[in-house]
C-alpha cells in the first residue's frame, strides 16, 4: 500500500497538460453555440411565434399549447442539426444537485418503422418519478407522481446528444419540490415590490430585475491522489491529515501564475461554458494552494443560478479529462482556506441600476439611499433566516473560521455611506454634513446632491458588504445551490419594500408631500436597522459579544439555525408574498435536518473505517518494527548502552500505544453515539444529536491521527498527505 501511494504521487508529478489547440474563433463567434437563445428563435420560429415567445420571456405572458407545438418544432429542427437524439427536463430538486431523465425523439410511424418526434407536450410538461426525491413528507414514498414544467425564461441548451430543458419540479398536489419554483415566485415578488417603490422616483419604470454575479471557488487535486483517499471520494473532504509545513502562509499562490495543467483545464472549461452561453469573465488562483476561482458577468438571477448549477457539473466533467478532480466542498482541507460562492446581488430596472451611486441628481440619490436602506431592513429583520439559507453541514466548517465570513450576518457599508445614513437619522432636515472624499462635497438634506461612494476600503470579514453598486453576500457555500440564499434575500427585501411603500403612502394620505414622507420613513428605518451595520473586524471575539447585545442571531449549530425557517416572521413573509406556504417550509426543514444527519453519518462511518482499517494497522506495524529494533539493540549492546540507544524508539512506541488506544476507544464511542442518535425518530432532534455528540467525536479522534502521521514512517503511511494533495503541478 505504501508503494502504491508513492507510485500515485510520482505519476501525478509526471503528468503534462493536455494539448488543446489554439482557438481559431473569437469567443463572440461561438458564445451560445449550443443555446436556443433569441437569435436561434428568430431563425427557427415563425415571426408570430417568435414575438409571442418574447412576450412570454420578457413580460410573463401565458404560453398556449399551439404556440408550444410550434416552438417545439423549431427547437427540434435546430437540435437535430446538432446531432441531438434525446431531450430531458433539467430541474433542481432539494439535493443541491440537478436531475434529468432522457427520452429519445422516437415514435412509431405506423408502418413498422419509427420517426423522430418532439411535440409541445414533451417541451412543456413531463412526469418524472417524484418518489425518490426529497419531499419532507409532502408526498408519501408510494405516491410517485410529480410534474416538471418548462421555464421559458431560462434558455434551452444542448449537451452532447441531449436537448436540456430547464424546468420547475412540483408535487402532484402543487407544492414545490425544487429550488426554481420558489425562486421564480420570489423574483416576481421583488419585481412588484421594487417597481412600486421605484415609481416614486420615476413613474415610467416598468420592471425591476434581480441580478446576480456569482464567484465560484474550487480546488483541483490530481485524480490518482483523490482516488487513494477514501474520505475525499466519499465525503468530498479530508477527514484526517496533518497540515503541510508550507501551505498558504507565504501568500504566494493568491493571484499567482496559473500552473500549466490548470491553465489548460481553465481554457477547456471556458470554451465549453461559453458555448453554453455562460459568460465566463474572470479566472485566477485563490488563497489556498490548488484553489482557484471562476466568475461570470452579471446576469438575471434565475439564469445566473441555472448557469452556476451547470458550470459546477461542467467543472467536474472537464477536470477529469485533464487528470484532476474538482472539489467543491467548502472545507476539503483543514488548516487552509475553504471555498465560498460570493453572490453579488443587485436590482436594476429597464432604466438603470437601483443600487448604483452616485447619481447626478438628488432624486437619483434619494432613490439609491431608499433601496440601500430597505435592503438593510430586510437583512436586519431576517438576519437569522439569511444565515439559515446558507448553512449546511459542509459550509459549517468554513463559517466563522478566519478566512470566511463569521456565522453572524452583518453589513459593511463604508465610511461615507455610513455617515450619510447617520446624518439622515440624527439631524434636522435643513442641516448639512461634510462628506470626506475626492472633492469634500457637502451633502444637503433633504436635497441630497451627488454622492461619492468609492472612498472606502472593502471589509472582507463582512458577510453582506456593500461594494459600490451591489451587495456581496459572501457567506454562501461553494457547493450550494445559491437559489436558497437568493430566495431568502429577495423575499426579505421585497417584504421591506412593501412595508416601506405602505408607510409612505399612509403619510402622503395624511397630507405630507411625497419627498418628506419618504425621508421620514427612511429616518425611522435607518434607526431600526442600525444593529445590522458593522464596520469592524467580523472575526473578533468582541464582535460576537457585541452582536448578542444588538440582538443579532449568533447561533452556530447548523440544525438549530434551520429553526429560523419556522419562525413566525419567516412563515408570514414567505406566505404573504406567495413564495412558500407553511407546509412547504416545514417540509424543507425536514429535508435539511435529514440531509445534515446523513452527511455527518456518512462521514462518521468513513472515519471509523479509515481509523480501524488504515491508521491503526499502519501504526501498529510501525510499532512492531520499532519493537524489533529495540530488542535487537539489547541483543547487540550492553544494557546501559542499549537503554540510551533505544530511548527515542521506546518513547515513540509508547506514544503510538497511547494514541492508538485513544483512537480505538474513540471509534467505539463514535459508533455508540451514532447508534443512540439513530434511535431518535424526530429528524430535528436526531440532527441536533449528530451535531452535539457525533461530530465532536471525529474531531477528537482526528487530533490523535494527525499526530501519528508525524511520527509513523512515511514509507508506511497509506493515505496521500497534504504536502502531496496540495502541491501537484
Rounded average pLDDT over 709-718: 95
Residue 223's pLDDT is: 93
Residue reference for cell 455508540? 672
pLDDT of 605 higher than 80: yes
pLDDT of 440 higher than 60: no
What are the φ and ψ backbone dihedral angles of 207, each rounded to 5 degrees?
A: -160, 145
- Burial class from Cβ neighbours inside 10 Å (0-12, 13-18, 19+) for residue 259 reads middle
Which runs of consecutive H residues, i.e. helices, occur in 510-638?
A: 514-528, 541-550, 558-561, 568-576, 582-610, 616-636
In this prediction the pTM is: 0.92
In tens, the pLDDT along 486-521 reads 999 999 999 999 999 999 999 999 999 898 899 999
Residue reference for cell 453572490? 343
SS (HEC) of 414-468:
CHHHHHHHHHHHHCCCCCEEECCCCCCCEEECCCCCCCCCCCCCCCCCCCEEECC
The answer to whether the CB of 193 falls within 8 A of the CB of 494 is: yes
pLDDT of 434 higher than 50: no
Torsional class of 531: left (φ above 0), alpha (ψ -120 to 50), beta (otherwise): alpha
- Kindly state the percentage of the chain with pLDDT values over 70: 91
Query: Of 283-297, 531-545, 654-668, which gets the smallest average pLDDT?
Result: 531-545
Cα 684 from Cα 589, distance rounded (Å): 8
Cα 631 from Cα 678, distance rounded (Å): 47
Rounded average pLDDT over 434-452: 41
In tens, the pLDDT along 130-176 reads 667 777 777 655 555 678 899 999 999 999 999 999 999 988 778 88
User: Which of 621, 643, 622 lies closest to 633, judged by CA?
Assistant: 643
CA 119 to chain centre: 36
Cα 504 from Cα 500, distance rounded (Å): 6
In tens, the pLDDT along 229-244 reads 999 999 999 999 999 9
- When computed from its CA atoms, the radius of gyration of the chain, rounded to whole angstroms, is 29
Residue reference for cell 440582538? 551
Res. 256 pLDDT band, cuts 50 70 90 = confident
The answer to whether the CB of 56 falls within 8 A of the CB of 65 is: no
Q: What integer best gives the mean pLDDT of the chain? A: 89
User: Which of 219, 256, 222, 216 lies closest to 17, judged by CA?
Assistant: 222
Cα 293 from Cα 266, distance rounded (Å): 10
The answer to whether the CB of 259 falls within 8 A of the CB of 267 is: no
pLDDT of 374 higher than 90: yes
The β-bridge partners of 285 are: 292
Torsion angle (degrees, nearest 10) of CA 305, 306, 312, 314: -150
Residue 297's pLDDT is: 95
C-alpha cell at 607: 472515519
SS (HEC) of 387-427:
HHHHCCCCHHHCCCCCCCCCCCCCEECCHHHHHHHHHHHHC
Cα 247 from Cα 250, distance rounded (Å): 8
What are the φ and ψ backbone dihedral angles of 171, each rounded to 5 degrees?
A: -80, 170
In tens, the pLDDT along 310-349 reads 999 999 999 999 999 999 999 999 999 999 999 999 999 9
User: Which of 608, 605, 720, 601 lies closest to 226, judged by CA?
Assistant: 720
DSSP letter at 620 equals: H
Residue 430's pLDDT is: 44
Residue 72, CA distances (Å) to 75, 508, 550, 555 in order: 5, 51, 56, 50
DSSP letter at 253 equals: S
The answer to whether the CB of 559 falls within 8 A of the CB of 596 is: yes
Query: Of 123-127, 152-156, 578-582, 717-721, which gets the smallest average pLDDT?
Result: 123-127
In tens, the pLDDT along 71-127 reads 999 999 999 999 999 999 999 999 889 999 898 888 777 777 777 788 888 888 887
In tens, the pLDDT along 450-484 reads 445 454 445 667 899 998 889 999 999 999 999 99
Q: What is the DSSP string of 194-217?
A: HHHHHTTT-TT---EEEEEEEEEE
- Burial class from Cβ neighbours inside 10 Å (0-12, 13-18, 19+) for residue 684 reads buried
Which helix (H) or strand (E) segment is 284 a member of? strand 280-285
Q: Are strands 125-126 and 146-150 parallel, antiparallel or unpaired?
A: antiparallel
Q: What is the DSSP string of 69-138?
A: HHHHHHHHHHHHHTT--EEEEEB-BTTSS-B--EEES-EE-SSSSEE----HHHHHEE--B-TTS--TTS
User: Which of 294, 488, 348 lies closest to 409, judged by CA?
Assistant: 488
Count of Cβ atoms closer than 10 Å to residue 696 Cβ: 12
Cα 62 from Cα 64, distance rounded (Å): 6
User: Which of 534, 561, 559, 537 lies closest to 549, judged by CA?
Assistant: 534
DSSP letter at 532 equals: G
C-alpha cell at 536: 469592524
C-alpha cell at 101: 431523465
Residue 366's pLDDT is: 87
Q: Is the dihedral of CA 682, 687, 690, 696 positive or negative?
A: negative
pLDDT of 303 higher than 70: yes
C-alpha cell at 467: 461594494
The answer to whether the CB of 357 falls within 8 A of the CB of 466 is: no
Amino acid at each position: 500500500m505504501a508503494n502504491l501511494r508513492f507510485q500515485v504521487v510520482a505519476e501525478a508529478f509526471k503528468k503534462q497538460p493536455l494539448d488543446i489547440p489554439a482557438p481559431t474563433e473569437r469567443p463572440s463567434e461561438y458564445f451560445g453555440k449550443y443555446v436556443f437563445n433569441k437569435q436561434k428563435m428568430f431563425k427557427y420560429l415563425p415571426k408570430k411565434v417568435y414575438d409571442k415567445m418574447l412576450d412570454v420571456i420578457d413580460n410573463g405572458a401565458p404560453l398556449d399549447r399551439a404556440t408550444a407545438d410550434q416552438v417545439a418544432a423549431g427547437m427540434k429542427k435546430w437540435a437535430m442539426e446538432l446531432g441531438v437524439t434525446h431531450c430531458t427536463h433539467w430541474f433542481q430538486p432539494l439535493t443541491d444537485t440537478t436531475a434529468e431523465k432522457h427520452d429519445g425523439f422516437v415514435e412509431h410511424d405506423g408502418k413498422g418503422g419509427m420517426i423522430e418526434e418532439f411535440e409541445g407536450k414533451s417541451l412543456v410538461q413531463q412526469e418524472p418519478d417524484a418518489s425518490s426525491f426529497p419531499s419532507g413528507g409532502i408526498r408519501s414514498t408510494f405516491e410517485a407522481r410529480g410534474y416538471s414544467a418548462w421555464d421559458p425564461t431560462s434558455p434551452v441548451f444542448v449537451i452532447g446528444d441531449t436537448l436540456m430543458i430547464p424546468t420547475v419540479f412540483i408535487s402532484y398536489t402543487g407544492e414545490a419540490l425544487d429550488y426554481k419554483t420558489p425562486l421564480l415566485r420570489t423574483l416576481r415578488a421583488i419585481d412588484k415590490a421594487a417597481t412600486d417603490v421605484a415609481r416614486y422616483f420615476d413613474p415610467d419604470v416598468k420592471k425591476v430585475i434581480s441580478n446576480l454575479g456569482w464567484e465560484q471557488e474550487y480546488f483541483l487535486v490530481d485524480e490518482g491522489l483523490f482516488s487513494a483517499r477514501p474520505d475525499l471520494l466519499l465525503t468530498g473532504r479530508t477527514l484526517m491529515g496533518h497540515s503541510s509545513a508550507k501551505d498558504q502562509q507565504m501568500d504566494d499562490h493568491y493571484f499567482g501564475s496559473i500552473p500549466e495543467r490548470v491553465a489548460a483545464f481553465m481554457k477547456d472549461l471556458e470554451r465549453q461554458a461559453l458555448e453554453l452561453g455562460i459568460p465566463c469573465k474572470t479566472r485566477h488562483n485563490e488563497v489556498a494552494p490548488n484553489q482557484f476561482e471562476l466568475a461570470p458577468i452579471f446576469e438575471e438571477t434565475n439564469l445566473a443560478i441555472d448557469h452556476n448549477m451547470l458550470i459546477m457539473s461542467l467543472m467536474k466533467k472537464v477536470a477529469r479529462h485533464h487528470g484532476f478532480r474538482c472539489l467543491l466542498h467548502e472545507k476539503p482541507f483543514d488548516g487552509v482556506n475553504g471555498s465560498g460562492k460570493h453572490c453579488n446581488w443587485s436590482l436594476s430596472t429597464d432604466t438603470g441600476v437601483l443600487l448604483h451611486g452616485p447619481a447626478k441628481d438628488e432624486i437619483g440619490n434619494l432613490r439609491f439611499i431608499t433601496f440601500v436602506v430597505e435592503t438593510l431592513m430586510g437583512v436586519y429583520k431576517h438576519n437569522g433566516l439569511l444565515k439559515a439559507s446558507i448553512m449546511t453541514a459542509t459550509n459549517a466548517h468554513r463559517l466563522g473560521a478566519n478566512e470566511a465570513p463569521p456565522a453572524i450576518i452583518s453589513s459593511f457599508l463604508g465610511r461615507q455611506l455610513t455617515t450619510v445614513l447617520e446624518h439622515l437619522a440624527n439631524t434636522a432636515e435643513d442641516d448639512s454634513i461634510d462628506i470626506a472624499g475626492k472633492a469634500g462635497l457637502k451633502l444637503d438634506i433633504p436635497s441630497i446632491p451627488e454622492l461619492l461612494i468609492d472612498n472606502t476600503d472593502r471589509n472582507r470579514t463582512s458577510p453582506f458588504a456593500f461594494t459600490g453598486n451591489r451587495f456581496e453576500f459572501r457567506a454562501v457555500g461553494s457547493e450550494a445551490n445559491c437559489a436558497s440564499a437568493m430566495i431568502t434575500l429577495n423575499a426579505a427585501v421585497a417584504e421591506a419594500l412593501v412595508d416601506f411603500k405602505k408607510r409612505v403612502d399612509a403619510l402622503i394620505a395624511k397630507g405630507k408631500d411625497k419627498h418628506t414622507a419618504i425621508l421620514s420613513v427612511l429616518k425611522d428605518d435607518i434607526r431600526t436597522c442600525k444593529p445590522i451595520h458593522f464596520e469592524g473586524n467580523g472575526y473578533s471575539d468582541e464582535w460576537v459579544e457585541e452582536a448578542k447585545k444588538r440582538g443579532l442571531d449568533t447561533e452556530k449549530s447548523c440544525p438549530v439555525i434551520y429553526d429560523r425557517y419556522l419562525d413566525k416572521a419567516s412563515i408570514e413573509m414567505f406566505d404573504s408574498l406567495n413564495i412558500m406556504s407553511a407546509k412547504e417550509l416545514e417540509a424543507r426543514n425536514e429535508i435539511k435536518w435529514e440531509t445534515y444527519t446523513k452527511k455527518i453519518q456518512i462521514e462518521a462511518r468513513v472515519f471509523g473505517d479509515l481509523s480501524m482499517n488504515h491508521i491503526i494497522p499502519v501504526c501498529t506495524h510501525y510499532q512492531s518494527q520499532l519493537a524489533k529494533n529495540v530488542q535487537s539493540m539489547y541483543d547487540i549492546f550492553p544494557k546501559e548502552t542499549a537503554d540510551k540507544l533505544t530511548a527515542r524508539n521506546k518513547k515513540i512506541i509508547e506514544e503510538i500505544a497511547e494514541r492508538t488506544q485513544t483512537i480505538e476507544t474513540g471509534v467505539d464511542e463514535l459508533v455508540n453515539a451514532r447508534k443512540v442518535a439513530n434511535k431518535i425518530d424526530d429528524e430535528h432532534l436526531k440532527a441536533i444529536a449528530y451535531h452535539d455528540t457525533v461530530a465532536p467525536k471525529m474531531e477528537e479522534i482526528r487530533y490523535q491521527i494527525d499526530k501519528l502521521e508525524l511520527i509513523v514512517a512515511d514509507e508506511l503511511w497509506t493515505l496521500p498527505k497534504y504536502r502531496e494533495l496540495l502541491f501537484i503541478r
